[in-house]
Structure 1
């Protein structure tokens, strides 16, 4: 049997079954694309998957079954993700996989040692081994031809990927996918093809070079911005009133709903939006993970602007440096000093993470120890999901756990407001995203959280409710780093 004829039947089965899985598996909300060009792209992605698996074994039926299994797994994972977060699987999700084994407590996925994971994995490995033994290889009989074939196929796939990053193929991809449109593209060409196309488009996009920040006299001597993990008004979830929210409504210069780029996850999107003021439409295919796209090398950032104006720039986060590559990213953003997990080794914990109250007290200590103007950006950790049984003693209900933690977040805000009362300072607190709770599913509040902006040491003003987007809040905060600021018009923010 020739290589070509031995491969055609398995390939045809892989393409047909993969198409059926996506057509009836609910991977996308829109109808299955039937235009010839879309079908070619869809089937081409399945074919590339089959060739990828074939390069490991040179057994066509094993490669075909691996392709079908891969497509089925992608569709199931995408559906599960959409149910929790409201968004299908995206190419940048694969870059986050290495942090799952490093920080398994942050996910609902069981550890690899769990029988639910280890058992099926061992069965799958045994099945592949048996199949590998039963199905004959299509490699040529000659040793040298076999070695040449083994090397040629993966090199050809790599060459194709490289060609798609530049030249005619890159221009064709840019024409076909001018901007991200996940639901539409998944429906037109399928999930595997969309994952591949978006990854290639991201690689081909030019880097966003950092621009030197112009110097100006500093504004408020202390500017503190705190990203509150999974923070929203608990009354929106049926919880009790939070005293800190009443404090916000009566004392904050501005407060309101904050429309953020995602529901239930993707902290880095909100973080990036506030720190850079970049609108999602400015990020191209890097919109799904701005840190993966540019790693902190941005045309504009609050810490870079603050440093140019003479501020000490400090990032405070009571968790591991490697999570989201935050240490590296924050240094590139312009933070000259980092206070991270190792600096909180002896801090109080509530559940698995450093308490928000302990974090707030460290922030106040940094304010009192400053030698000049200070710009401080902090990310809380106490209320990070998942909210699973065993997290808090005697409290297993996810919503009850969340409400316990959010009360501590409120106490931190109250202590900060009291501690900054005698300073000339700005304090901004905002929620990064709504919690991924069973009672808070996608579509809740149109991905809006809550934010507040306090001004201390200046003329008192009546609190104003102004609903904003996260990037608009970031642009608004720039004015606090300059003297004689000219703030944006109150009528311009997008309503959440």
Structure 2
């Protein structure tokens, strides 16, 4: 009787049922969507994941209903949004061997601020796919508005009721998800931050929701790695000039494509390995992107295994651990602690995070206005000249100085593929030689740490299957207390500890 008197209720329920069926089918297309043959998918575990499959769709449907005031329009928008998310996730996996993550949402603002920074990094087929998806979304929204130009101005009737229902659905589904975060269910379904192990059973939207809820649980948990075990007050005395350089996409070309023709080695990297106090391979989880993971590891010294679900974007929860950042640990030793990056400091919120991490000065894009570029970004040569100036200034004024520099030249895109990347890579190698030479000649105790943040992603050339490690080197100059030369692989967090101990040793 109720359905006969209120056909809108029938339409609303049937539309959401259609959304569940169609969107779930689309969701299943996100890769990976199958377990290895030796894995089983118990029905009970699938049933436990049902709330995480339904609630994200209910949230999207409710929000769309609150905006449009029409059940069919909300259903169409929900299906299109799901399709776009799955498309984006599969494109990202093809490029970076990683799906879309809940933490990627923070990059939306950066995409609007610097769209070419991301669009130019995509190969042509991916650009076409993204443009087609966005065009379909715009056309869908336009079609909904043209179909009924008056629906946004209606005050009474079923439209207002549907908007209220949509608002209630959206809010209640979000609150239910947040309540689930207080239970043990999310961690039972996803005990480790591994999308590939969870997506085949529960799907992309559910896995994304679960990982977000577990991030909410993890973000304020204390980390007791080095703050208690290795922290000690640095001694007072003659302090070195310290330069740490994170070089964009810097990798050893001889290891990039082991199954293909060997690439020639970098001259400075090959030469200086023999004089480095410590060198080896820097192992990381990311490939082709996520500079902030490596940067955070080196600055804060926290292993990804300790971070839990914070590992995907550790800067999102960095405010809980500022005391562990390298410049804060060394603030009693270094008068000047300078962060240098010739790009927009708003990326990863460096403009806020770096001062809180203990840096006394930030040198960003404005200081490099008029500097030479190589490709679309400030050249490594220009950055090297600026760093040499900071080194000479520290020597002249006899000021204790810690410099952490992040390069940008080799970010890409590489229109000519591998050959363009190798040209920029050679400039990173020259930067290593420039700063090494400047510190060697400065006549002051000094330390240099140089490493790559991640490997490049170059379709049909450099792929994740060939490895993810980059080289690192640590040099000590003008000190009587030298550590024996060693070759040992490290994680970014391990490099943090190696740099810290090397600084203390140079006293």
Q: TM above 0.5, one fold?
A: yes
> Could you say which residue in structure 2 is the equivalent of 1:404?
423
Structure 1 position 189 matched with structure 2 position 210? no
Structure 1 position 20 matched with structure 2 position 25? yes
When residues 480 and 158 of structure 1 are mapped into structure 2, their CA distance, relative to the original with a 3 A threshold, is farther
Separation in structure 1 between the aligned mates of residue 175 and residue 350 of structure 2, nearest angstrom: 29
The secondary structure found in structure 1 opposite 2:207 is: helix
Separation in structure 1 between the aligned mates of residue 320 and residue 246 of structure 2, nearest angstrom: 17
Structure 1 position 425 matched with structure 2 position 446? yes
Structure 1 position 353 matched with structure 2 position 377? yes
**Relative to structure 2, which stretch is displaced further, 145-154 or 220-229?**
145-154
Decide whether the 8 Å contact of 1:164 with 1:173 is kept in 2. Answer: no
Decide whether the 8 Å contact of 1:59 with 1:136 is kept in 2. Answer: no
Q: How does 1:168-187 map to 2 (within 5 A)?
A: 169-170=182-183, 172-187=185-200
| Residue of 448, 458, 464 corresponding to 1:437 | 458
Separation in structure 1 between the aligned mates of residue 329 and residue 446 of structure 2, nearest angstrom: 17
| Residue of 285, 292, 297 corresponding to 2:316 | 292
When residues 62 and 336 of structure 1 are mapped into structure 2, their CA distance, relative to the original with a 3 A threshold, is same
When residues 41 and 415 of structure 1 are mapped into structure 2, their CA distance, relative to the original with a 3 A threshold, is closer
Q: How does 1:469-488 map to 2 (within 5 A)?
A: 469-482=491-504
Show structure 1 runs of 5+ residues with no match. 389-396, 486-496
Deviation per CA, 1:148-197: give whole Å up to 9, x if none: 65345325533543464468855544554444221122222211122223
State the 1:25 CA deviation.
Answer: 5.1
> Could you say which residue in structure 1 is the equivalent of 2:213?
200
> Could you say which residue in structure 2 is the equivalent of 1:88?
99
State the 1:22 CA deviation.
Answer: 3.2
Decide whether the 8 Å contact of 2:250 with 2:470 is kept in 1. Answer: yes
When normalised by structure 2's length, the TM-score is 0.83
Decide whether the 8 Å contact of 2:446 with 2:477 is kept in 1. Answer: yes
Q: How does 1:301-450 map to 2 (within 5 A)?
A: 301-370=325-394, 371-388=398-415, 397-421=416-440, 422-438=443-459, 439-445=461-467, 447-450=468-471
The secondary structure found in structure 1 opposite 2:297 is: helix
> Could you say which residue in structure 2 is the equivalent of 1:45?
56
Separation in structure 2 between the aligned mates of residue 240 and residue 482 of structure 1, nearest angstrom: 37
> Could you say which residue in structure 1 is the equivalent of 2:3?
none
State the 1:245 CA deviation.
Answer: 1.5
**Relative to structure 2, which stretch is displaced further, 249-258 or 41-50?**
41-50
Structure 1 position 279 matched with structure 2 position 303? yes
Structure 1 position 161 matched with structure 2 position 174? yes
Structure 1 position 455 matched with structure 2 position 479? no
Structure 1 position 242 matched with structure 2 position 266? yes
The secondary structure found in structure 2 opposite 1:223 is: strand
Separation in structure 2 between the aligned mates of residue 420 and residue 290 of structure 1, nearest angstrom: 32
**Relative to structure 2, which stretch is displaced further, 436-445 or 170-179?**
170-179
When residues 294 and 4 of structure 1 are mapped into structure 2, their CA distance, relative to the original with a 3 A threshold, is farther
Count of aligned residue pairs for this structure pair: 473
Separation in structure 1 between the aligned mates of residue 483 and residue 429 of structure 2, nearest angstrom: 22
**Relative to structure 2, which stretch is displaced further, 282-291 or 425-434?**
282-291
> Could you say which residue in structure 2 is the equivalent of 1:490?
none
**Relative to structure 2, which stretch is displaced further, 283-292 or 117-126?**
117-126
State the 1:468 CA deviation.
Answer: 1.0
Separation in structure 2 between the aligned mates of residue 272 and residue 359 of structure 1, nearest angstrom: 21
Separation in structure 1 between the aligned mates of residue 148 and residue 315 of structure 2, nearest angstrom: 44
Deviation per CA, 1:334-363: give whole Å up to 9, x if none: 101111111111222211211112212211
Show structure 2 runs of 5+ residues with no match. 1-5, 257-261
Separation in structure 2 between the aligned mates of residue 351 and residue 168 of structure 1, nearest angstrom: 46
